């Protein structure tokens, strides 16, 4: 897979979730079970951490299944109540993203347990809780969902990473398998099938007319918002 270091943007679900995390010393730090986002003073969504461990992974299975698994995990680990929260790797340590996620520092001492205050911060959310949110938009088919979030900012390069666009449409998160990106076309026949199945999916830039409402658990897209096809 081509490194993302020279690209203008990449997708959280496609390029980060479930990738192995490798320290600068070549040691495995775990895998990306979720990604934490922070809504800053301007309203922008900024990735702040890679989350590692079952407390990050289990909620991604949905409110019913994931919630039940998470409760079971807490009961099993009752003797260590702090372990109901995931381990955290600061996002500014991400140096490169390809078939794995490479960090700029060695693994020992790198991961730390998320604090309860941080977990309860209303300005923070997890990507796993956003993927699959219903999308309300008159220009899209019914039962459209949030399929992925697009980040700008190359790993290891100067400048702040932030979410700039949403991938929305019918289907389910992860079903595109990267075939929406011209840099990762895959076999032509498979790409054609995936493209046809997701012909109604669109990329919408965050801005006026686009409301990612984490409290209501939905994405609202007004008529004036620009919806672009997945491939140019």
Distance set, CA 81 to CA 72, 75, 84, 112 (Å): 13, 9, 6, 15
Residue 106, pLDDT score: 96
Band the pLDDT of 35: cuts 50, 70, 90. Answer: very high
Residue 79, pLDDT score: 47
Residue 143 maps to a domain: yes
For residues 95 and 177, membership in a common domain is answered with no
For residues 86 and 164, membership in a common domain is answered with no
pLDDT at 137 over 60: yes
For residues 120 and 142, membership in a common domain is answered with no
Residue 99 maps to a domain: yes
- Number of domains the chain contains: 2
Answer with the one of 127, 143, 172 that is the final residue of a domain: 127
For residues 123 and 13, membership in a common domain is answered with yes
For residues 101 and 210, membership in a common domain is answered with no
Residue 229 maps to a domain: no
Which is higher by pLDDT, 210 or 4? 210
For residues 13 and 105, membership in a common domain is answered with yes
Average of pLDDT values for 60-75? 60
Band the pLDDT of 209: cuts 50, 70, 90. Answer: very high
pLDDT at 215 over 50: yes
For residues 118 and 183, membership in a common domain is answered with no
Residue 145 maps to a domain: yes
For residues 109 and 172, membership in a common domain is answered with no
Residue 232 maps to a domain: no
- 3-state DSSP helix/strand/coil percent for the chain, to nearest 5? 20, 30, 45
Decide: helix, strand or coil at residue 25: coil
Answer with the one of 75, 104, 127 that is the final residue of a domain: 127
Residue 84, pLDDT score: 80
Residue 175, pLDDT score: 52
Residue 96 maps to a domain: yes
**Residue 152, CB-side half-sphere exposure with 13 Å CA sphere:** 11
For residues 166 and 185, membership in a common domain is answered with yes
19: domain CATH number? 2.30.30.240
What count of residues does the chain have?
232
pTM over 0.85: no
For residues 152 and 86, membership in a common domain is answered with no
Which is higher by pLDDT, 180 or 60? 60
Which residue, among 118, 114, 131, has the nearest Cα to 214 in the 3D structure? 131
Q: Which domain holds residue 214?
A: 133-224
For residues 170 and 122, membership in a common domain is answered with no
Q: Which residue has the tokens 């479930």?
A: 18
Residue 116 maps to a domain: yes
Mean pLDDT estimate for the chain:
81
Residue 64, pLDDT score: 59
Write out pLDDT tens, residues 152-189. Answer: 875 555 557 889 999 999 876 755 545 455 555 555 55
Residue 1, pLDDT score: 40
For residues 110 and 168, membership in a common domain is answered with no
Which is higher by pLDDT, 186 or 83? 83
Residue 12, pLDDT score: 92
Which helix (DSSP H) or strand (DSSP E) does residue 51 occupy?
A: strand 45-52
């Amino acid at each position: 897979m081509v490194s993302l270091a020279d690209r203008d943007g990449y997708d959280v679900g496609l390029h980060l979730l479930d990738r192995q995390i490798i320290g600068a010393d070549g040691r495995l730090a775990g895998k990306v079970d979720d990604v934490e986002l922070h809504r800053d003073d301007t309203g922008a969504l900024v990735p702040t951490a890679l989350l590692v461990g079952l407390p990050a992974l289990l909620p991604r299975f949905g409110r019913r299944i994931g919630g039940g698994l998470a409760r079971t995990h807490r009961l099993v680990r009752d003797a260590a109540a702090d372990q109901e929260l995931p381990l955290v790797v600061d996002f500014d340590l991400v140096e490169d993203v390809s078939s794995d996620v490479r960090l700029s520092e060695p693994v020992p001492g790198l991961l730390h347990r998320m604090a309860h205050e941080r977990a309860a911060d209303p300005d923070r959310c997890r990507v796993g809780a956003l993927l699959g949110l219903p999308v309300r938009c008159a220009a899209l088919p019914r039962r459209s969902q949030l399929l992925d979030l697009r980040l700008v900012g190359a790993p290891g390069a100067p400048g702040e990473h932030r979410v700039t666009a949403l991938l929305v449409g019918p289907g389910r998160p992860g079903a595109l398998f990267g075939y929406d990106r011209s840099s990762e076309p895959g076999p032509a026949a498979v790409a054609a099938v995936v493209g046809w199945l997701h012909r109604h999916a669109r990329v919408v830039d965050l801005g006026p007319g686009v409301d990612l409402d984490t409290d209501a658990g939905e994405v609202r897209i007004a008529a004036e918002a620009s919806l672009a096809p997945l491939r140019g």
